Every structure is written in C-alpha cells, then in structure tokens.
Amino acid sequence: MCSQLLAERLYELFVARLDVYGVETSEGWKTEKGKITLKEVQDHLNGKYTIGVYPFNRNGCIKWLCIDLDYKGREYLTST
C-alpha cells in the first residue's frame, strides 16, 4: 500500500487539471470528466488501475514536462 504522504506529494507535483484525467482500459485510454482526488492517485499507486494526468492547466500553462525516448538496439533517432 502506498503512503498517504507519497500520494499527496505526487498529486501536488503532477496534477494540473482537477476536472479531467485519463484511465487506461482494456480498449485503450478513456477520458474521465470529473474531479481527480487523492483516492485515484492512491488507487493508481496501489495498482488498481492506471491513470494519466494532463500536464497543462485549463489556461494552457504547463506544470511539468516528460520526454520518453525509445530506440531499437543502437539506432538513435537523428534529425536530417
């Protein structure tokens, strides 16, 4: 079980929009319209389901940024 303090800290750091979030289902990602609470963050951390939060608020200001780079073997993506 995750700690309340960890859930609170992650909520504080990453949740930018309180009115909408994503939930991964067997059919893909689904948008949930409604307030995201600490319970959803705790359930995510406890493995009940996977959630995704938007990095920008309703005014379009970015709260955080993540870049996920994947490569095959030693092939890197390069600009030409």
1-25 tens-digit pLDDT: 668 999 999 999 999 999 999 999 9
Domain total of the chain:
1
| Cα 21 from Cα 57, distance rounded (Å) | 11
Cα 33 to chain centroid, rounded? 15
| Cα 80 from Cα 67, distance rounded (Å) | 20
| Cα 50 from Cα 36, distance rounded (Å) | 13
| Cα 11 from Cα 7, distance rounded (Å) | 6
Q: Provide mean pLDDT across the span 49-58.
A: 94
- Residue span of the structural domain in which 9 resides: 1-80
| Cα 73 from Cα 17, distance rounded (Å) | 37
Average pLDDT, the chain: 89
Name the token pair of 40. 């959803």
Model confidence at 42, in pLDDT bands (50, 70, 90)? very high
